[in-house]
Amino acid sequence: MSQFDKTLSVSLKPQDPASLALALQQYRQHLNDGSAFRLNGSLLFNIEFVNQQLRPLNRDDAGANRPLLEHALDAARRDHRLSFYTEPVLFAAALNFPELLDELKATAEAMVAFSRRRNDSSDLFIDDYNVFGVEALYMLARQYPELSHYLAAFLVPYWNLESFYQPVLLLGKLVEEFGWRRELIHAYLHCDGEQNRRCFFQTTEGNSVNLSLLEHFARHPDDYPWFKAQLLKRLEQTPLLAYANEQPLEQTQPVLEFFYSLGDWPVEADIDDIELWRDRVKQQLILGRRVEDEALSLLAQLSEQSQPLVIVAEAWREDDRHCLWQTGEEQALTEDYDWDQYDNEPDSDYAALFYDLEESEDYLRIDELEELDAEVGEAMLCALAELPKSLGACAYAAYRLSRLNSPHSLSPEADEAAALLHWLAQQLPLQFQHHIFYEGGEYQKKRREHRLLKSWLTDIDTEGDVAKMAQIASEILYTSKDGKRIALLWSNGNKGFQNGLLALYFLLCAPELEAPQWQALKTLAQRHWQLWLTLDPLQLIEKIYYCWADYAFYPAIDDEHLEAELRQNLLKLGVSEAQLDAHCLLTAQQVAAYRPADKRFWQGYITRLSRFAEADPEDNSMIDRLWQQQQQLLQALDSSRELPRLSFFGHLKANFPETPLPQAFFELFDLCLRQSFSKSFTEEQAQNLCHQLKAYLTSGEGLEPLTPQATAELQDWVPCRSDDPADAAELSDFVWLLPEAQGRGLALFLAGLGTQSLYWLHRPSVETAYVNHLIAEGSLSMAQRWEDQSVGHKRHSDYDTGLAFQSAKENWALGWLDSIGVSPQSTAYFAVSQGRAPAPFLKHLADEGRLPETSQLLTIDERVRLLKLLAQAGADAELFSAFLQDESAAVRQLAKDLAQGS
């Protein structure tokens, strides 16, 4: 049985109208009760229409309408044109008999009702390529244009226009054939997806194929009043289908939706900037009247209607959209299906046991290795042949080997040690070669140094210096654009090469063995370990720690004795105290933000912070051991994630304001500054801008030449290292960390890049800065940072606490920016367009008479929100009088109501 074969059949005589009528009635029943579909991941159309000999209907059964059927299949299908097409044949055959029109209309209504209940094209498939209903409804529209609205309504908003665009293009074919007759305008009004409606006059790529309705109304103005009357009638009878979970229903504007898609409005805004583009469309004229005014007028006529104008489809209101089909009967339908053809599970016991050692997307944990070891027991020699050829298997084999001849040994026999050594000696070098030279890098055999590195890692007789080998490896391995991050170590795909690093760790922790292959294998393992330790020590430490970690997303270990043991092992393998301290410092800082984390992490972090601050920056002699440790720690932190490192500097500044930030902080700022410019400008431009900005930050003079108005290069420039990882620093992250005057200068520079340039107030560093501000002023202690009821863990689990925190953070940041001279245009724009709870700050501007003129600054919807926020904050009624002359009727009406106190 094919995956897409149908298990239900409806038999009929294609030339008998009575038989066709009965088949249509049965079809409607299956659509109404859902039995026309079965569950196959998503829903799958499950009916085959057959003749009385149980042969599936074919093109000949369409009779005189075979050409119509052929055209529909060609127009509606891109692939598998003649796959599962008996439903269109049924309609084509029935269309031969005018007396069956009522039956066809009733069936079309059932098809549309089902599609609207689902509002998801993925629930309408007949196979991997096509959906049910489309050809049938298209043929109905071709024969009876006044019934085109069935096809338009069937094409619901949640339609995959990238993969299944052919059906929506049928709308344009109808306009191409019949023109914008009123039957097609009626169809437009029953099509609920904005992008789908555009396909009446353009392709899914936006290429014009017909006159738009906007152009049609300009040529045929008499059709426009009819359009408005029919729009009212449509919304009175049938609510607009909304996109589930994308925005609150009250924010959907059902009347305006149909105006937005009338054509290509001539506005100065990118259609991808949806909010701005729609705001500009509202201000356009249609036959001499503003679009917004037209929509509000129509909406006012609908205001007394009891039923909603917008609804979410029935399926999207259910916890399980497919619960109707998850029944014993439905399961029985799939029992005959040969699911084993897709079953790749191993068939032997040992192969099944080792199955999870294939390259996985999760970290390998010690409890998994221990559990596996217990199941293998003393049968390793028998199981070894089934061990997969993967780094995960190498990690387990090395783990097993490390436990032999130890107090925990399960099988002390020398035969097992020899067998494991033999297996590792074969597989480990091959796996490392594949991941380093081919999957994780670009090995060029013609280059002598590449051959040298490969030989050094595979042949103990090849000599080489670790530093030199690391330099060659860094040229071969794929890295981030700045060259600082090795993709193999930072990739989520294989969890940063953890299995490979664990294999080395366990192998090097194994007791000395007398087997002849041991010394050679250990030597090569030491070389690999030294290579990765040189390339990125913190990533190596992190991946090893994850094996024993007690948290899914943090390499942190609760058991102090276990961590101390692991630390000692790593020290023996060449990891330095400073590198381990750097790892523990940043891990403790990050895991402390996680509510279930052991409190010792935050306490330990504070202790390390204090110890760091105690070092005397004036004494860099060999005698001052604390100073040496500080410098070693800073050096180790150099390869760490940037945002946690900046958080450390921020905590240092907040808790120990008299301690100057180390030079490493300013070096990181310089790096971020250079990269922010170099990503967008030529080398010469970047150097000049960097020099100008640093001079301005030092002297406090020279801001004007660094504005977009004075320097053309800065127009539309966004200082964002967008192609870097999410935990890379941006310029804005330094605003509250630099010396006070420089921080103000940097904030003024960033704010001066345009009214929309305060996007960075949503950066995590602003939250850190706000909390540090509370610590610095003494209203919050560092020790209670995560226990505090307002800013601690509670804000993650309690919505009201979280909202209050976000509001306090944003109002503090906006207030600070306002105090240093950032223009009200910038702060007010951010507060209204992106702020979460900015009412207090907006009232502050209003009370001081500094609320900017908003007609050009804010969209209509944003001006409405501004008025609501001011009313929420208790602004004086007189303030709203200024908005009574606004060009938007919606703004004027709300301002009038608020001014009158209603």
Summarised one tens digit per residue, pLDDT across range 548-569 is 999 999 999 999 999 999 999 9
The answer to whether the predicted template modeling score (pTM) of the entire model surpasses 0.85 is: no
- Burial pattern 70-97, b for ≥16 Cβ within 10 A else e, equals ebbbebbbeeeeeebbbbbbbbbbbbbb
d(CA 181, CA 183): 5
Q: Is the pLDDT of residue 506 over 60?
A: yes
- Give pLDDT tens digits for 249-297: 666 789 999 999 999 999 999 998 888 999 999 999 999 999 999 999 9
Mean pLDDT of the 90-105 span: 97
With a pLDDT cut of 70, the percent of the chain lying above it is 93
Closest CA to 739 of 666, 816, 677, 810: 666
Q: Is the pLDDT of residue 232 over 50?
A: yes
Helix (H) or strand (E) holding 688: helix 683-699
Least confident residue range of 306-310, 323-327, 366-370: 323-327
Q: Is the pLDDT of residue 411 over 60?
A: no
d(CA 350, CA 388): 10
Helix (H) or strand (E) holding 500: helix 498-509
Residues in the chain: 902
Residue 410 is predicted with a pLDDT of 46
Q: Is the pLDDT of residue 336 over 80?
A: no
β-strand partners of 479 = 486
Closest CA to 791 of 610, 654, 669, 659: 654
Mean pLDDT of the 588-616 span: 91
pLDDT band at 346 (very low <50, low <70, confident <90, very high): very low
User: What does the mean pLDDT of the chain come to?
Assistant: 90
d(CA 604, CA 581): 11
Least confident residue range of 187-196, 485-494, 554-563: 485-494
Provide, for the chain, the percentages of residues in helix, strand and coil under a 3-state DSSP scheme, each rounded to the nearest 5.
60, 5, 35
Start-to-end C-alpha separation, the chain: 68
Q: Is the pLDDT of residue 218 over 60?
A: yes
For the chain, what is the radius of gyration of the CA atoms? 35
Q: Which two tokens stand for residue 537?
A: 């020590």
Q: Is the pLDDT of residue 757 over 90?
A: no
The CA-based angle 748-751-756, given to 5 degrees, is 175
Least confident residue range of 15-19, 359-363, 851-855: 359-363
Residue 413 is predicted with a pLDDT of 63
Residue 627 is predicted with a pLDDT of 81
Residue 345 is predicted with a pLDDT of 45
Tell me the backbone φ, ψ of residue 240, rounded to 5 degrees. Answer: -75, 135
d(CA 41, CA 429): 42
Q: Is the pLDDT of residue 770 over 50?
A: yes
Closest CA to 754 of 717, 727, 787: 717
β-strand partners of 40 = 42
Higher-scoring residue by pLDDT: 414, 618? 414
Residue 503 CB partners (closer than 8 Å, separation 6+) = 391, 394, 395, 397, 398, 424, 428
Residue 40 CB partners (closer than 8 Å, separation 6+) = 3, 4, 334
Which contacts of 829-834 are long-range, i.e. CB under 8 A and separated by 24 or more positions? 829/755, 829/756, 829/758, 829/857, 829/858, 830/756, 830/758, 830/759, 830/761, 831/869, 832/858, 832/862, 832/865, 832/866, 832/869, 833/756, 833/858, 833/862, 834/758, 834/759, 834/761, 834/762
Higher-scoring residue by pLDDT: 97, 323? 97
Residue 445 is predicted with a pLDDT of 86
Q: Convert 242-272 into a string of H (helix), E (strand) and C (coil).
A: ECCCCCCHHHCCHHHHHHHCCCCCCCCCCCC
d(CA 58, CA 308): 44
Residue 214 is predicted with a pLDDT of 96
Residue 439 is predicted with a pLDDT of 86
Q: Is the pLDDT of residue 646 over 50?
A: yes
Which residue type does 29 have?
Answer: Q
Calculate the alpha carbon distances from 425 to 397, 417, 431, 455 in Å: 11, 12, 11, 15
Sign of the Cα torsion 67, 68, 71, 72 reads negative
- Cα 673 to the chain's mean position, in Å? 27
Mean pLDDT of the 609-638 span: 80
d(CA 702, CA 700): 7
Residue 63 is predicted with a pLDDT of 94
Residue 343 is predicted with a pLDDT of 42
Closest CA to 140 of 93, 85, 193, 84: 93
Q: CB neighbours (10 Å) of residue 374?
A: 9
Q: Is the pLDDT of residue 619 over 80?
A: no
Among all chains, which residue has been given the structure tokens 């898609």?
A: 261
- The beta strand positions in 641-739, using DSSP E, are none
